[in-house]
């Protein structure tokens, strides 16, 4: 099972920063970066639409210039909100990136960035429109559709988009037949967001291909070295399995 560094392992490092991405690359199979467009038009790396959630500033990302964002401090680190391109430059070429589009009207610039870097790039989003935009521009770029509700409807959307991955919330990966259906359709499954080794073990036993993890404590060697339990027989066994794995 592969590990994606969610926001660059946000529990360990200032999320969506150059520091986080460069350090996370040492412990992850893939580094995830959130993508928004700032007020001056550039693609910047930040999860929330308001900077007050992660920085010492205030205001909306879409109303602040790239220079104003760079002057902030993310998580008290002294590093401002970076350009997505700067994060990509800090990640080794042999470490794939997952660029998570936090809204529509990003596709053209994100596809251009993906083509410009040497890293393998997977585009992901909760917004189907954002992925359709990217797919219309490039019919071969790998996509991942994220969702936490309505598994049936969203699996259909993922198939229509010709996604390489689906990325359901971990509860759907364990409590529905999403994993089986995705594999039958030729798609891989990345569940989000995982914070414990026990949960990673449980998801691996359910056939999940990758997890988005919040901490480097879930580094690949650790997860792959565990004595995995067998596949879940039924969704009702989930809580019992989890309790057993916690001990």
Render pLDDT for 48-85 as a digit per residue (tens, 0 to 9): 999 999 999 999 999 999 999 999 999 999 999 999 99
In the predicted structure, residue 220 carries a pLDDT above the cut 80: no
Question: What is the pTM for the complete model shown?
Answer: 0.88
Say whether domain 2-33+90-246 belongs to CATH 3.10.20.600. no
Nearest by Cα to 88 from 38, 13, 18, 8: 18
pLDDT at 218: 58
Mean pLDDT score of the chain, rounded to an integer?
90
End-to-end Cα separation, the chain, in angstroms? 22
Q: CA–CA separation, 81 vs 65, rounded Å?
A: 11
Render pLDDT for 228-247 as a digit per residue (tens, 0 to 9): 333 333 444 544 544 444 43
To 10 degrees, the CA torsion angle through 147, 149, 153, 155? 40
Fill in the DSSP letter of residue 199. H
pLDDT grade for 21, boundaries at 50, 70 and 90: very high
What does the domain layout of the chain look like in residue ranges?
2-33+90-246
| Angle of the 197-205 helix axis to the 238-246 helix axis, nearest 10 | 140
Q: CA–CA separation, 161 vs 4, rounded Å?
A: 22
Render pLDDT for 105-149 as a digit per residue (tens, 0 to 9): 999 999 999 999 999 999 999 999 999 999 999 999 999 999 999
pLDDT grade for 197, boundaries at 50, 70 and 90: confident
């Amino acid at each position: 099972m592969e590990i994606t560094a969610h926001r660059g392992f946000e529990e360990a490092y200032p999320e969506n920063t150059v520091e986080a991405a460069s350090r996370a690359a040492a412990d992850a199979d893939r580094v995830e970066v959130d993508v928004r467009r700032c007020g001056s038009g550039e693609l910047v790396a930040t999860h929330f639409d308001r900077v007050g959630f992660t920085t010492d500033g205030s205001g909306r990302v879409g109303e602040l210039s790239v220079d104003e964002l760079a002057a902030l401090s993310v998580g008290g680190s002294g590093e401002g909100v970076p350009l997505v391109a700067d994060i990509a430059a800090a990640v080794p070429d042999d470490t794939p990136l997952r660029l998570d589009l936090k809204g529509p009207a990003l596709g053209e610039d994100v596809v251009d960035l993906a083509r410009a870097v040497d890293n393998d790039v997977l585009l992901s989003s909760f917004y189907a429109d954002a992925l359709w935009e990217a797919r219309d521009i490039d019919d071969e770029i790998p996509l991942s559709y994220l969702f936490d509700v309505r598994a049936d409807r969203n699996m259909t959307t993922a198939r229509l988009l010709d996604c390489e991955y689906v990325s359901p919330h971990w509860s759907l990966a364990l409590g529905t037949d999403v994993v089986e259906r995705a594999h039958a359709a030729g798609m891989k499954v990345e569940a989000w967001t995982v914070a414990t080794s026990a949960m990673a073990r449980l998801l691996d036993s359910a056939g999940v291909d990758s997890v988005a993890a919040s901490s480097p404590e879930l580094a690949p060697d650790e997860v792959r070295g565990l004595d995995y339990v067998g596949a879940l027989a039924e969704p009702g066994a989930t809580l019992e399995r989890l309790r057993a794995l916690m001990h």
